[in-house]
Amino acid sequence: MKTFTSILTAAAIALPSVSFASAAFLPPAPEIAGKAYYLTDFNSGQVLAERDPDSRVEPASLTKLMTAYLTFKALKEKRLTLEQTLTVSQKGWKTEGSRMFLDPKVPAKVDDLIKGMIVQSGNDACVTLAEAIAGSEEVFAQVMTQQAQKLGMKNTQFRNATGLPNPEHYTTVHDLGILAGALIRDFPEFYPIYSIKSFTYNNIKQPNRNLLLYRDPNVDGMKTGYTDSAGYNMITTSHRDGRRVISVVVGTASPEARAVESSKLLNYGLQFYDTPKLYSGAKPVSELPIYKGATKTVSVGFASDVYATVAKGQAAKLKADLTTMQPLIAPVKAGQVVGKLVVSLDGKPLFERPVVALKAVEEGGFFSRLWDSIKLMLGWK
């Protein structure tokens, strides 16, 4: 891969003009009273603060984010429907811990089971959904682990759908951050369920245990968890002025502590950082020459929107360098990686993104290919 300087005009890869009145000031992340934590910007995916991100932790009911992910996936693939009714098994009915109080004699709608799983953290709902999707909770746990690997959760293994303690059931705060972001990104139609403050089933009303839903209007999810061995855990997300940050805090001492510590992280991420949008997905950022093709150039850009998260006041200092594969020879598929963009700040690389062909370019005719072969052999451009 080499830089093709003839296309690197200022207009072709110029970053948007962004100005902020406040001077750059980035204090250290706040002290968090917990075993580990992780804070990311949802749009850019950049890590804003972390402690022991890859240490093995017990997720407790944060496990239910993956149970929900696979339930939403089954709905999207029409293997389940919201109006479908399921009956809790004896195993599900007898599962210990928090529950939505399913009645073995009364089938429940999938829609209610999802709310019972998310709002009430019902273990009985989780087992019922797991058995409906995979036949048994044991097989469902295998699918959970497989899905975790697909999402890039490299240090996660599931043994059940509920988060009840098991020495072989573990994850990391980094992996939980990946899962939370994937759930919001992949199933936006279901995400509002995480902001429901209470749910009544079987004449029993239970509140959402996420205390920040009642205290902070910018918080709209996600999930709490607790066991004696794990402590009090919480994944929380907050949005403000077009930005969204996700925090993961585990191993705190009480429900109040996990709320307070999560709030510290969320406010830190929203107050001291900006996340400007640099490029729109599927929009050309440059035209590359292409040889032996039906056309002489191909538009290139990004598969999705590109954001950068920087300390407030630093956005104007961002620099972008485009590096492309040359010579580029047809055929080229739409979405094929043809280079990379490196975004840097103060001379230090911040992140990179693959640059892709936005449209397919088929091979040209015989004489066109022959002429381009001669040009390539002689080094002509």
DSSP readout, 181-192? HHHHHH-TTTGG
Using alpha carbons only, what angle is made at residue 255 by residues 251 and 260, rounded to the nearest 5 degrees? 85
Q: What is the DSSP letter of 53?
A: T
d(CA 64, CA 286) in angstroms, rounded, equals 43
Instruction: Select from 259, 240, 239 the least CA-distant residue to 249.
Output: 259
Residue type, 191: Y
Single-letter amino acid, residue 4: F
Residues 62 and 233: beta-carbon distance below 8 Å: yes
How confident is the model over 80-93, as a mean pLDDT? 98
Which residue carries 């004696």 as its tokens?
A: 228
Known active-site residue 121: yes
147 versus 16: which is more confidently predicted? 147
Pick the catalytic residue from 35, 64, 264, 292. 64
State how far the Cα of 313 lies from the Cα of 175, in Å rounded to an integer. 30
Cβ partners under 8 Å of residue 56, min gap 6: 155, 170, 171, 172
What's the token pair of residue 188?
Answer: 């936006």
- Residue 204: partners with Cβ closer than 8 Å, 6 or more residues away: 100, 101
Short-list 137, 147, 224, CA closest to 183: 147
- Encode pLDDT of 27-76 as tens digits: 999 999 999 999 999 999 999 999 999 999 999 999 999 999 999 999 99
Q: Which of 206, 297, 215 is nearest to 263 (CA)?
A: 215
Helix (H, G, I), strand (E, B) or coil at 47: strand
Cβ-count burial of 105 within 10 angstroms (0-12 exposed, 13-18 middle, 19+ buried)? Answer: exposed
Q: Residue 326: which pLDDT band, with cuts at 50, 70 and 90?
A: confident
Residue 22 has pLDDT above 80, yes or no: no
Tell me the β-bridge partners of 153: none
Q: Are 338 and 328 in contact (CB under 8 A)?
A: yes
For residues 280-304, average pLDDT: 93
pLDDT for 13 beyond 80: no
Active site residue 64: yes
pLDDT exceeds 70 at position 103: yes
DSSP secondary structure code for residue 27 in this structure:
P
Residue from 61, 247, 262, 263 carrying the catalytic annotation? 61
| Cβ count near 334 (within 10 Å) | 12
pLDDT of residue 118 exceeding 60: yes
Task: Look up tokens 């509920």; give the residue.
Answer: 162
| CB neighbours of residue 214 within 10 Å | 12
Please determine, for residue 7, whether its predicted confidence score (pLDDT) is greater than 80: no
Residue 380 pLDDT level (bands cut at 50, 70, 90) = confident
pLDDT at 8 over 90: no
**Strand locations in the chain, DSSP E?**
36-41, 47-51, 85-86, 108-109, 198-201, 204-207, 219-227, 231-240, 243-252, 273-274, 277-279, 286-289, 297-301, 306-307, 310-311, 318-324, 337-345, 348-357
Structure tokens at 215: 């205290």
The pLDDT confidence band at residue 374, using thresholds 50, 70 and 90, is confident
Residue 15 is predicted with a pLDDT of 64
If you write DSSP's letter for every residue of 218-280 in order, what string do you get? Answer: TEEEEEEEEETTTEEEEEEEEEETTEEEEEEEEEESSHHHHHHHHHHHHHHHHHHEE--EEE-
pLDDT digits (tens, 9 = 90+) for 134-182: 999 999 999 999 999 999 999 999 999 999 999 999 999 999 999 999 9
Helices (H) and strands (E) in the chain, counts: 10, 18
Closest CA to 233 of 148, 184, 170: 170
- Mean pLDDT of the region 102-106: 97
Q: Across the chain, what does the average pLDDT equal?
A: 92
Catalytic residue status for 299: no
Instruction: Provide the pLDDT confidence category of residue 10 given band limits of 50, 70 and 90.
Output: very low
Per-residue pLDDT tens for 289-298?
999 989 999 9
Which of 89, 121, 238, 247 does the annotation list as catalytic? 121
pLDDT above 80: residue 336:
yes
